Amino acid sequence: MNELKERAGIAMNARAQFADAVPDRQVTLGALATVDELGNILWHMKYGQDLRHRALHRASLLLAMRIAEGSRFKRGKLSGIAKMRDAQRPEHERRSDQPALLVRFAETAILEWLSDQCSKCRGRGMLGGGGRISKRVDCAKCAPVREAIDVRLRFCHWPIADRSLCDACLGKGFVVETPFAEVPHLCNHCNGSGKEPVNVGRRAIALGISLEVYRRRWESRFVWLHAVLEKVDAQTGEEFRSGLGLR
């Protein structure tokens, strides 16, 4: 499946260096056009790097429609939230924002699904273990002497002859250090999972609700919606494979 996603991503990205080298690029794009519209847009955004706001908005609308048609979200609960939010608005601005709430819910989940890799370890789950890097640092032994000579040169018209060389840097003024590489260890940001941790506050702000309401009603819904996105991703892969004539 990963090979198919890589093939589709290269074919969709017109700026990719090897886009024309993909076997039957038009066939690949044609097979991708036969899949479900939501899966098509999601694959274009995640694997084709098509991060335009128009695509995100369209995907959010399609996913919100699926949420509204599902049985997990009861109309009564969402209507109660809408009435509560309407009561806080001025009378001339009161309106039910149930559709907007579902769209924000879908958009937040899609953005998390697109950038699911840990921002610190880039999905590796580990930090450290890289090669040793050489770097130049000022020689600590002769740095005070060089600073004193620089001060004297500001008020002297004749060069200062100093034939004695520093035995640490041999007159270069710097030494080359090759520190040991960082010991490999688990990423403390994702605890080794490679996934970006959930930002509860960001979710609550995106939905326009309090943390208490989020933990009571929306935390499990986000888990459910992420499972829906993974299911859509898997179904799109199967449809794409079928469109290519592969088994």
**Helix, strand or coil, per DSSP, at residue 126:** strand
Predicted confidence band of residue 38 (pLDDT cuts 50, 70, 90): very high
Residue 203 domain flag:
yes
Predicted confidence band of residue 6 (pLDDT cuts 50, 70, 90): confident
Which helix (H) or strand (E) segment holds residue 230: the answer is helix 219-243
pLDDT at 212: 92
Structural domain harbouring 71: 2-122+195-243
User: Are 21 and 76 in the same domain?
Assistant: yes
Predicted confidence band of residue 94 (pLDDT cuts 50, 70, 90): very low
- pLDDT exceeds cutoff 50 at 107: yes
Angle (deg, nearest 10), helices 37-46 and 219-243: 100
User: Are 43 and 159 in the same domain?
Assistant: no
Q: Which of 14 and 164 is assigned the larger pLDDT?
A: 164
Which residue carries 């001025």 as its tokens? 90
Going by C-alpha positions, the residue among 142, 127, 147, 129 that lies closest to residue 174 is 142
- pLDDT exceeds cutoff 80 at 115: yes
- pLDDT exceeds cutoff 90 at 182: no
User: Are 222 and 151 in the same domain?
Assistant: no
User: Are 39 and 161 in the same domain?
Assistant: no
Q: Which of 80 and 32 is assigned the larger pLDDT?
A: 32
pLDDT at 157: 53
DSSP 214: I
- pLDDT exceeds cutoff 70 at 34: yes
Domain count, the chain: 2
Across the range 12-41, mean pLDDT stands at 74
Residue 183 domain flag:
no
User: Are 16 and 91 in the same domain?
Assistant: yes
User: Are 108 and 209 in the same domain?
Assistant: yes
pLDDT at 124: 84
- Residues 229, 39: Cα–Cα separation, whole Å: 9
- pLDDT exceeds cutoff 50 at 232: yes
Residue 31 domain flag:
yes
Please state the separation of Cα 186 from the chain's center in Å: 19
Q: Which of 32 and 183 is assigned the larger pLDDT?
A: 32
Give φ, ψ of 184 to 5 degrees: -60, 135
pTM, 2 dp: 0.65
User: Are 148 and 64 in the same domain?
Assistant: no
Least confident of 85-94, 140-149, 193-202: 85-94
User: Are 44 and 93 in the same domain?
Assistant: yes
